[in-house]
Structure 1
Amino acid sequence: MTKPDRVILITGASGRIGRACAISLSHALPSPVALILSGRRIAELQETAKQLRVGTISELVVGDVSAEEDVRSIFQLIKAKYGRLDLLFNNAGVDLLNSVPLEDADINKFRQVLEVNVLAAVICTKEAIKIMKAQTPSGGRIVNNGSISAMSPRPNSAAYTVSKHAILGLSRSTSLDGREYNICCTQLDIGNAQTSLGGHAAKGCRQADGSIRPEPMMDVDNVGRTLVYLAELPLGADVQKLEILPLGMPFIGRG
């Protein structure tokens, strides 16, 4: 097997953002690059792999990244087969309580949002740091998929908003604690990308004043291009936080 120059893990690679980022990285980064694509749906992971540049090394791993055993198996594969990890994109996420007031929220669903959106990123970050600290030279980059909701929430979105605020804390702590090991961490806050999770905004979203208004959308490929930018930076550049959203999306002065 050809030894890759870069080893990258993308969680949630069966969804639109994960797929767009995998495709962008495979086409933009010099070959050979190894992409470990994690997700719950093998058919969707296979579809992602089909769209990668010829010559890209891809590993498809089906599992639940909120389950520690599944995450350990992913990182054991990476360590055994490649011996290093250069970039982790914590991308897996759900929004099970969209437009549900907190007082009406199903706590089991609330807990599931926290497990997938927060705990999965924590577990993956923990395992990534172990590899990045030990490899030679030490270091790596971790990018967490945040959200504009980490700064400005939508009405009736407590579960999702809490989860993304927690990711901001994880990003800051990882950036601080990773300094001595050359580990960088970025929170990538995304607004209104055209995906199954965020595509509803084009039809209309509830605003702070109670009205329903359609909002501008952007092509999800823009997120992929942003991740490429982060991946190409030297480890001496630690981007703390980056926001990408469509022009005109209500954010600054939402509602």
Structure 2
Amino acid sequence: MNTTSPKKIALVTGAGSGIGRAVALGLLSDGWTVVLAGRRAEPLQTLATEAGRRGQTALAVPTDVTDPGSVQALFDTIGHSFGRLDLLFNNAGVNAPALPMDELPLEKWFDVLNTNVTGVFLCARAAFGLMRRQSPQGGRIINNGSISAHTPRPFTAPYTASKHAVTGLTKALALDGRAFNIVASQIDIGNALTELSERMTRGVLQANGTVAPEPMMDVNHVANAVCHIAALPLETNVLNLTIMASAMPYVGRG
């Protein structure tokens, strides 16, 4: 059942593939107008065209979340096109090779931090400003954390550090947004099956040094969880939500 007004505007970053694409599809099905952001224009436009054929409204805006000018251009487009933003799903992120940290090229560290922390901050900052100034005031920001926001995998220092930082940012947003009816959530996802995570079904390095395949879950369960949070009234929030493949090695890591 559609419980969301079609006039509500959502932004999904990293919308061209994986979790971002699944969430964008879920929001579109729930009646949201969805702005699709990501570095690659082609998959964004393909998704927007598919949405249009179904009578849904999506706008593709190629964006580099690590570039302040690109993020500003994205939010200028949202402001000019719709005049407001009701939801940001801050999803764009990258990982680094699983290497001992002394072997990890420094540019990989900076790439992960620039995308997963600075990119999340830049989008949250711009969304916060738009939500603060629009009428009616307020909105919702959902940050994509990770199981790694709680517990690392072997040789994942950049990714783990970035996701711990997202937790701090989410809490700061939740606190600072109170005065402006802006709420913030974090969804920590474990082993959602996408084209990027499919390799995990063939083997992942474990804490004991072995390599083992891991159970996965349908990415649509993540989309459903995000859509549930998005549909809540702003006086209600899910501050933190962990959704994971039930038998994945999280609780027993280490």
Tell me whether the two structures share a fold, i.e. TM-score over 0.5.
yes
Contact in 1 for aligned 2:28/2:57 (Cα 8 Å): no
Q: Is 1:185 the counterpart of 2:206 in the alignment?
A: no
Give runs of aligned pairs for residues 67-78 of structure 1, distance below 5 A.
67-78=67-78
Contact in 1 for aligned 2:48/2:57 (Cα 8 Å): no
Residue in 1 that maps onto 2:28: 26
Contact in 2 for aligned 1:40/1:62 (Cα 8 Å): yes
Taking every aligned residue pair, what percent have the same amino acid on both sides? 44
Deviates more, 1:190-199 or 1:50-59: 50-59
- The alpha-carbon deviation at position 57 of structure 1 amounts to 1.6
Root-mean-square deviation over aligned CA pairs = 1.4
Give runs of aligned pairs for residues 1-255 of structure 1, distance below 5 A.
4-29=6-31, 33-52=32-51, 54-97=54-97, 99-255=98-254
What CA distance in whole angstroms lies between the structure 1 residues aligned with 2:63 and 2:74?
Answer: 9
Instruction: Tell me which stretches of 4 or more aligned residues in structure 1 moved more than 6 Å.
Output: none
What CA distance in whole angstroms lies between the structure 2 residues aligned with 1:47 and 1:100?
Answer: 35
Contact in 1 for aligned 2:229/2:237 (Cα 8 Å): no
- The alpha-carbon deviation at position 205 of structure 1 amounts to 1.1
- The alpha-carbon deviation at position 200 of structure 1 amounts to 2.0
- The alpha-carbon deviation at position 51 of structure 1 amounts to 4.0
- The alpha-carbon deviation at position 238 of structure 1 amounts to 1.9
What CA distance in whole angstroms lies between the structure 1 residues aligned with 2:117 and 2:50?
Answer: 29
What CA distance in whole angstroms lies between the structure 1 residues aligned with 2:216 and 2:50?
Answer: 23
- The alpha-carbon deviation at position 76 of structure 1 amounts to 0.6
- The alpha-carbon deviation at position 50 of structure 1 amounts to 4.0
What CA distance in whole angstroms lies between the structure 2 residues aligned with 1:160 and 1:49?
Answer: 30
- Structure 2 gaps of 5+ residues are none
What CA distance in whole angstroms lies between the structure 1 residues aligned with 2:200 and 2:100?
Answer: 18
- The alpha-carbon deviation at position 5 of structure 1 amounts to 1.5
Q: What do residues 195-241 of structure 1 show as CA deviations (whole Å, max 9, x unaligned)?
A: 23322221111111111111100111111111110111010112111
Contact in 2 for aligned 1:184/1:239 (Cα 8 Å): no
Q: Which amino acid aligns with 2:60?
A: L
Contact in 1 for aligned 2:188/2:243 (Cα 8 Å): yes
What CA distance in whole angstroms lies between the structure 2 residues aligned with 1:142 and 1:87?
Answer: 6
- The alpha-carbon deviation at position 46 of structure 1 amounts to 2.3
Deviates more, 1:54-63 or 1:127-136: 54-63
What CA distance in whole angstroms lies between the structure 2 residues aligned with 1:27 and 1:137?
Answer: 24
- The alpha-carbon deviation at position 125 of structure 1 amounts to 0.6
TM-score by length of 2: 0.94
Contact in 1 for aligned 2:66/2:115 (Cα 8 Å): yes
